[in-house]
Homo-oligomer: A and B are copies of this chain.
């Protein structure tokens, strides 16, 4: 299992990437990790960590894509950018998967044009593991594909099902469609057209529509949305949790009595704060490509990079690409097979 790691993507690159890769290499010695980026800087950072383990190597590259660049243009002009090179390694069979903490927009372009879509997949989707009041769930698409066709959402559901099994260990994942009402006839033009297709889809346990109000309580294992409302959903969940936590901290510091109370409840609240901390989750997965791809937050630390590598390890061990291929094939020759 060879995983390419864009060493230049995060806000504090190359420190988190190098330290995170070294930690992962020690945890899982059967992985082969390739750090892609400025060799001198990677070597200097590795020296601080006691040098590179045997299963970590470097692929030198000279350019970097920054978050403010227009994605398509940046990917097309910067052929030697670390993210572009890492993507090409997967395409050429020099790596099985890749990870970046760089720009999401650029990653979607690198994924689609560089790595390339799996046969039969119409559009990639960005999926992520989200916390809930019960168990975590897998959510997609959080913004890779805007204004999609209903058939693409069905493919997202099939891919989400595979990932919920591989990453979350669910046996028969409950798959739901994010909608503005629970009833079958509710929705906009897209969700109304998608609902019957999901009912007919083979091999998934489609439980129907779910509302934004119910998802945070953990009613489904996989929640499917198009990229725009998916982005609204995940960011609103994150923002609301953060705003509420901030307010609670303020309220706890408002008097001496509540400060003493805060000390007493600290132990009980800590795991909860951690659970709803978005940055703990370790990133998003770009699905539907020839190899698994992980996007970590720009603000990732070494621990977040290691978590991202664990995602890729699980995806490779579970052979998700083959499983998705089989799930798509099981649908038979449908309209999506001849659409393009």
A239 touches B217 (CB 8 A): yes
B212 touches A239 (CB 8 A): yes
A77 interface residue (CB < 8 Å to B): no
Interfacial chain B residues near A188, Cβ < 8 Å? 146-147, 227-228
Considering the chains assembled together, what is the distance between the CA atoms of A194 and B227 in angstroms?
18
Number of copies: 2
A258 touches B268 (CB 8 A): yes
B257 touches A261 (CB 8 A): no
A214 interface residue (CB < 8 Å to B): yes
A216 touches B232 (CB 8 A): no
How many of chain A's residues touch chain B, expressed as a range? 35 or more
CB-CB under 8 A for A261 and B265, given A133-B243, A229-B228, A234-B212: yes
Interfacial chain B residues near A178, Cβ < 8 Å? 232
Interfacial chain B residues near A214, Cβ < 8 Å? 239
B229 touches A133 (CB 8 A): no
Interfacial chain B residues near A266, Cβ < 8 Å? 261
Of B229, B231, B265, the contact of A265 (CB 8 Å cutoff): B265
A215 interface residue (CB < 8 Å to B): yes
A238 interface residue (CB < 8 Å to B): yes
B268 touches A239 (CB 8 A): no
Q: How far is the CB of A217 from the nearest CB of chain B, in Å?
A: 5
A251 interface residue (CB < 8 Å to B): yes
The proximity string for A residues 236-275 relative to B, scoring 1 for CB distances below 8 Å and 0 otherwise, is 1111111111111001101101101111111111011001
A132 interface residue (CB < 8 Å to B): yes
B264 touches A235 (CB 8 A): no
The proximity string for A residues 259-293 relative to B, scoring 1 for CB distances below 8 Å and 0 otherwise, is 01111111111011001100000000000000000
Considering the chains assembled together, what is the distance between the CA atoms of A260 and B227 in angstroms?
45
A54 interface residue (CB < 8 Å to B): no
Interface residues of A (CB under 8 A from B): 132-133, 143, 146-147, 178, 180-181, 187-189, 191, 211-217, 225, 227-229, 231-248, 251-252, 254-255, 257-258, 260-269, 271-272, 275-276
